[in-house]
Amino acid sequence: MREYLLTLLVAAAVTYLTAGLVRAFAVRWGVFAEIRDRDVHDTLTPRLGGVAMYLGLAAALLVAGKLPLLRSVFEGSDEVRALMTGATLICLLGAADDKWGLDALTKMAGQAVAAGVMALQGLVLLWLPWPGQTIALDPVTGTLLTILIVVGVVNAINFVDGLDGLAAGIVAIAASAFFVFSYLLSVENASDRALAPSLISAVIVGVCLGFLLHNYNPALIFMGDAGSMLLGLLLAASTIALTGRVDYRAFSSTDLAPALLPLLLPLAAISLPFIDVLLAVVRRTRARRSPFAPDKRHLHHRLLEIGHSHRRAVELMYAWTFVLAYGVLALALLPLGVALALCAAGFAGLVLFVRWPRVRARLSSAAARD
């Protein structure tokens, strides 16, 4: 655990320290986020923060490769090398988009290439788990599914990056849930504590925390597509690596819930961005617009419309992600009744806080009438 914590701190420190340098470079190079009607910021803010995240990732993995325990992750497989190759490609793609603005199809093609290269180097789905059995995947199918997962998660994180600190905070919470499950899985199975999913998740948390010190409202720098796509790829990579760590043959074919909980955890942790993407696609398609056409109807925009401040809207999105991710984790670790009670209490509290500005306005109006 201490080596994971050290790796996390290195990722956070390097990301934090280099973000200021990247910001100065972005200002000199003229890489600013445009001020558009659908945006909530009203001042020119430099982008390219994802470059600092990439540097934090590289530094953390470099240190991890020298540690006694985590060194075995590098020696046992090519997953880390594949991860860095994909991260390099997608960060370059995002940086190009931040500077020149690429169309949606070009970005999606670039994302697919980064995912495909990563899969060909070893970070790929080899089989799909199911209670009582495993479904082996041939190389082509495994690669295609890996690309689909990576592209889906990358765009989900990209869509949710609309408020200061929002994407970094959500991904940090999701990655922390990945880490807790992956680490506890290794403890319970009495297996090697040095696992690629745990290492990737710890690094993600580190780079997000380091960047948040510059990105929380009011943001000094935006992560841009270089950052949102990098975080999406890293989160997808940890999900892919995590999925293959559970022996589903240990569960009977009738005992579905315990067997599927490890799969539900990654889905729950990133469900909020996916829900936002799904709602956006439905909304734009019904309006006979392109699914990629931007608008100002994302979940975070609606929280602002209800009456929440910028920071409160971000904190509520954090809370939703935490309840979803750790609620599923509680189902895996706690008695069913206790876990369900905690989840119900969490959701009830969140619903109340989401509606609170309008509830307070109605109470004030009723009091004024009296």
Q: Could you give the maximum distance between any two Cα atoms of the chain, in Å? A: 73
The answer to whether the Cα torsion of 268, 116, 134, 72 is positive or negative is negative
User: Quick check: helix, strand or coil at residue 130?
Assistant: strand
> In the structure encoding, which two tokens stand for residue 27, read together?
């200002």
Residues 33 and 41: their CA atoms lie apart, in Å, by 9
Contacts 24+ apart (CB under 8 A), 79-82: 79/122, 79/123, 79/196, 79/241, 80/196, 80/199, 81/121, 81/122, 82/117, 82/118, 82/119, 82/120, 82/121, 82/122, 82/123
Which segments of the chain does DSSP mark as H helices, in order? Answer: 2-29, 49-64, 71-76, 79-100, 104-120, 139-160, 166-188, 196-215, 224-243, 256-269, 271-286, 299-306, 310-333, 336-369
**pLDDT score, position 241:** 84
**pLDDT score, position 225:** 94
| Residue-wise DSSP of 183-234 | HHHHHHTT--S--HHHHHHHHHHHHHHHHHHHHSSSPSS--HHHHHHHHHHH
Residues 182, 245 contacting (CB under 8 angstroms): yes
> In the structure encoding, which two tokens stand for residue 112, read together?
């697919």
**pLDDT score, position 88:** 97
**pLDDT score, position 39:** 55
Q: What is the pTM for the complete model shown?
A: 0.87
> In the structure encoding, which two tokens stand for residue 160, read together?
């949710």
CA separation (Å) from 144 to 99, 118, 127, 149, 150?
A: 30, 12, 12, 9, 10
**pLDDT score, position 262:** 56
Q: Which residues fall within 8 angstroms of residue 362, CB to CB, at 6 or more apart? A: none
Strand partners, 133: 130
DSSP 34: -
**pLDDT score, position 41:** 57
> In the structure encoding, which two tokens stand for residue 227, read together?
């950052």
Residues 301, 162 contacting (CB under 8 angstroms): yes
CA separation (Å) from 54 to 18, 59, 60, 152, 219?
A: 10, 9, 10, 20, 19
Q: Which residues fall within 8 angstroms of residue 271, CB to CB, at 6 or more apart? A: 324
Residues 177 and 190: their CA atoms lie apart, in Å, by 20
**pLDDT score, position 294:** 66
Distance of CA 151 to the CA centre of its chain: 13
Averages of pLDDT over each 10 residues, the chain, 370 residues: 93 97 94 68 84 97 93 86 96 95 92 95 80 74 92 85 85 90 74 82 96 91 95 91 62 51 67 75 79 68 76 84 86 80 83 69 61
